[in-house]
């Protein structure tokens, strides 16, 4: 259709950042609409690259980089929402999800640079993202932000477990070599 995978990657990022802005401002319905389309674009960019004969190094770099930025924008928006609404629970859950969510791909990349596969863990990125979007959708439908807080709690917990799993795996492999 004349749309490149890289264009879809960038569009997905822009939509996710817009959704994050709506989330930070406490507009869950607008947020979930933008996040739905941003997440859809994030899913389709790889499919488009494959259909076009395979991806490029630039495409892989952009996809990975914008995935990290999108994830940080979303959890950062939850952090901002918690701070501005004096919701300490959302603030600390979002901070936990932000830090551990950033560590998960870093640990994998560092392990791979050492020749170790570290694509393990309880909650891959896609699962964490879907849980957050479901939480925003539940908030939008019910007008109860505590449903979003519950989804954020699950994501923070799963991200922490996944981080610990990856660290333990890499330490175990390095200790045995």
Positions marked catalytic = 67
Within a 10 A sphere around the Cβ of 25, how many other Cβ atoms?
14
- Specify whether the CB–CB gap between 160 and 96 falls below 8 A: yes
Angstrom CA distances, 158 to 122, 124, 125, 127, stand at 7, 9, 10, 9
Residue 122 per-residue DSSP state:
S
Give the closest residue to 161 by CA, choosing from 115, 110, 127, 133. Answer: 127
Question: Which element (helix H / strand E) includes 133?
Answer: helix 125-142
């Amino acid at each position: 259709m004349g749309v490149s995978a890289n264009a879809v990657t960038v569009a997905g990022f822009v939509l996710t950042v817009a959704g994050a802005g709506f989330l930070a401002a406490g507009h869950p319905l607008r947020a979930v609409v933008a996040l739905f389309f941003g997440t859809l674009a994030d899913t389709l960019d790889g499919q488009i690259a494959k259909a076009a004969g395979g991806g490029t190094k630039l495409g892989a770099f952009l996809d990975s980089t914008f995935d990290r930025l999108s994830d940080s924008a979303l959890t950062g928006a939850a952090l901002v929402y918690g701070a501005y609404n004096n919701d300490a629970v959302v603030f600390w859950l979002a901070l936990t999800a932000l830090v551990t969510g950033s560590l998960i791909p870093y640990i994998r990349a560092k392990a791979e640079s050492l020749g170790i596969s570290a694509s393990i863990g309880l909650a891959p990125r896609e699962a964490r993202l879907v849980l957050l979007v479901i939480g925003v959708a539940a908030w939008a439908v019910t007008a109860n932000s505590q449903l979003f807080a519950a989804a954020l709690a699950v994501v923070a917990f799963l991200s922490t477990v996944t981080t610990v799993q990856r660290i333990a795996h890499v330490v175990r492999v390095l200790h045995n070599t």
